[in-house]
A and B are shown apart, each in its own frame.
Chain A
Amino acid sequence: MTTHEITTTRMNPMIDPGMHIWGWEIPVYLFLGGLVAGFMVISGYFLFSGRFQESRHVTCFRAPLTGLILISLGMFALFLDLEHKLYAWRLYTTIKIASPMSWGAWILVLVYPAMAIMALIHLPDQKHLPIRVEFLHKLSQSLRSHEGLAKTIGAINMLGGAILGMYTGVLLSSLGARPLWSSSSLWLLFLVSGMSATAAFIHMVAPTKAERELLAKADNGFLSLELFVLALYLIGLATTSDVHADAVRLLISGTYAPVFWIFVIGVGIVIPLGIQILAVNHKVKHTSIPPLMVIAGGLILRFVIVMAGQHSHWSNAHGL
């Protein structure tokens, strides 16, 4: 038997012995980004399909508004992660085509007006608002009266959401030095996972049974798709090269395997999917438990991918 011993004298903080440049902030940011992307797509869809006239859908106002809050939280998490915070404004002095981080900065800027205007289309009753904002209501009515415009706004949000969702995956997959991330299906995984989390979220908070049912069905679709995309992602990496196969091993049999199998696959996808299938078939009641599991699973997925990805490496200098 021959052995291979590699000794390095380098000991840089956050880099050695294993990379740990990103803590909780980036997974949270990616998760919230995916969630908000889902909000944009689903709310946009409701808008596009003309359902915004039906006031019972939470998707019409509360979802975009919640999205605005969540994306702000996400950006704040990202900001917390920056090491050179005083220079954050530098993001907006340039557009770097090759840098997904740069697109992301600009996408986030566009997400705000898109969601804000979508929220405006269906404002709740005056009595639910703390202050009277007459001009907003006028604006809202005016938007609703132009159905074509409203549908366009819906379409823009669907598109913007899709881009945002994809971006959260591309951000990682563009960093080719981390084999676990260098997959062409990571954007799809994060997009689908974002959609399923959003569906679960709306499922949970929707006031009417019909909406809950609708979203639960949608969620089941997204979760099934997510399982498929996950399989695609893992198989794709495992068959790329031994470096990538090593990286996948981190998830399926390595350090991160317990979390991956139990929380991401089990708690996050398979169990809630099973419960929700029973629920939509009226075998069990709709509860908040499966959607909470899906949301938690989505968050944990981002954590696992971000953490394991940092440990995946081209050389085995870090003792994979």
Chain B
Amino acid sequence: MSRYAMVIDTKKCVGCMDCVVACKTENNVPEGYNRDWIVQDVMGKFPDLHMEIRSERCNHCDEPPCVHCCPTGASHVHERGGVVLVEHNKCIGCKACLASCPYDARFIHPDGYADKCTFCIHRVEVGLLPACVSVCPTHCMYFGNLDDPASDVNKLLNSRSHHAVLPEAGTKPHIFYLT
């Protein structure tokens, strides 16, 4: 059994968007669309500020509302690592999945189907890291198996304080941010 997850160290991330560019070239994401993105979250009053920088994308949730609401089964949980994927030829473009995602991680591809991050499963299947992780110049992104206690992601989650985005939405997200 494997459940893939990403752990991102917000202390090291500089928000340079290399992950976004790499995703676009790797996956041929059309101009004007993003499967991943950067969020800068600033709290406080100048000069007493705190900023968290996050590289965000589909959370490949354990309870994926986008899969539940899909009327055709196009959105599905892939057996490999519990990755949430969309089968383009089953998708009717009803957009229920877009509305169901608390992260707004999906969009309609210009060809009509719902599209989103795939955790670069095509790379992972041949032993590579997702493009975003492999390119990150600050080495702030980690990818691995939550079910493997020895994985980097588990080690980091066990040793560092972390949070997910909108856990209160109840979707059990699989991207964790080290703080």
| A/B: CB atoms within 8 Å of each other | yes
Which of A82, A171, A177 contacts B101 (CB under 8 A)? A177
Q: How far is the CB of A235 from chain B (nearest CB, A)?
A: 21
CB neighbors of B among A201-257 (8 A): 241, 243
CA distance A6 to B71 in the complex (A): 34
Across-interface contacts of B102 in A (CB, < 8 A): 176-177, 313-315
B14 interfacial by beta-carbon distance below 8 Å: no
Mask, B76-96, CB within 8 Å of A = 1, is 000000000000011111111
Q: Decide: A21 near B98, CB < 8 A? Known: A2-B45, A9-B20, A96-B71.
A: yes
B164 interfacial by beta-carbon distance below 8 Å: no
User: Could you tell me if B92 and A176 are in contact, using CB atoms closer than 8 angstroms?
Assistant: no
Across-interface contacts of B137 in A (CB, < 8 A): none
User: Could you tell me if A101 and B96 are in contact, using CB atoms closer than 8 angstroms?
Assistant: yes
B128 interfacial by beta-carbon distance below 8 Å: no
Q: Decide: A19 near B99, CB < 8 A? Known: A11-B32, A12-B33.
A: yes
Across-interface contacts of B111 in A (CB, < 8 A): 84
CB neighbors of B among A294-320 (8 A): 310, 313-315, 317
A178 interfacial by beta-carbon distance below 8 Å: yes
A131 interfacial by beta-carbon distance below 8 Å: no
A4 interfacial by beta-carbon distance below 8 Å: yes
Which of B72, B73, B107, B166 contacts A314 (CB under 8 A)? B166
CB neighbors of B among A1-43 (8 A): 1-16, 19, 21-22
CB neighbors of A among B93-131 (8 A): 93-96, 98-102, 104, 106-108, 111-113
User: Could you tell me if B39 and A317 are in contact, using CB atoms closer than 8 angstroms?
Assistant: yes
Segment at the B interface, from A46-54, A86-94, A115-123, A153-161: A86-94
User: Could you tell me if A314 and B32 are in contact, using CB atoms closer than 8 angstroms?
Assistant: no
User: Could you tell me if B89 and A8 are in contact, using CB atoms closer than 8 angstroms?
Assistant: no
B150 interfacial by beta-carbon distance below 8 Å: no
Mask, A84-119, CB within 8 Å of B = 1, is 111110110110101111101100000000000000
Across-interface contacts of A100 in B (CB, < 8 A): 69
> Count the A-B residue pairs with Cβ separation under 8 angstroms: how many?
164
B47 interfacial by beta-carbon distance below 8 Å: no
Q: Decide: A87 near B92, CB < 8 A? Known: A21-B98, A177-B101.
A: yes
Q: Which secondary structure dominates chain A's binding surface?
A: loop
User: Could you tell me if A7 and B71 are in contact, using CB atoms closer than 8 angstroms?
Assistant: no
User: Could you tell me if A177 and B112 are in contact, using CB atoms closer than 8 angstroms?
Assistant: no
Q: How far is the CB of A178 from chain B (nearest CB, A)?
A: 6
A83 interfacial by beta-carbon distance below 8 Å: yes
Mask, A164-195, CB within 8 Å of B = 1, is 00000001001111100000000000000000
User: Could you tell me if A84 and B91 are in contact, using CB atoms closer than 8 angstroms?
Assistant: yes
Nearest neighbor of B96 in chain A, beta-carbon distance: A101
Nearest neighbor of A310 in chain B, beta-carbon distance: B99
Mask, B118-152, CB within 8 Å of A = 1, is 00000000000000000000000000000000000
Q: Decide: A10 near B37, CB < 8 A? Known: A5-B42, A91-B72.
A: yes
User: Could you tell me if B95 and A21 are in contact, using CB atoms closer than 8 angstroms?
Assistant: yes
Residues of A within 8 A of B (CB): 1-16, 19, 21-22, 81-88, 90-91, 93-94, 96, 98-102, 104-105, 171, 174-178, 241, 243, 310, 313-315, 317
18 residue pairs bridging A and B, Cβ less than 8 Å apart: A1-B45, A2-B45, A6-B39, A6-B40, A10-B34, A10-B37, A12-B104, A13-B32, A15-B106, A83-B112, A87-B72, A90-B90, A96-B71, A175-B69, A175-B99, A177-B100, A314-B168, A315-B102
Query: 9 closest A-B pairs (Cβ-Cβ)?
Result: A83-B93, A10-B37, A84-B93, A84-B112, A101-B71, A102-B71, A177-B102, A12-B107, A5-B42
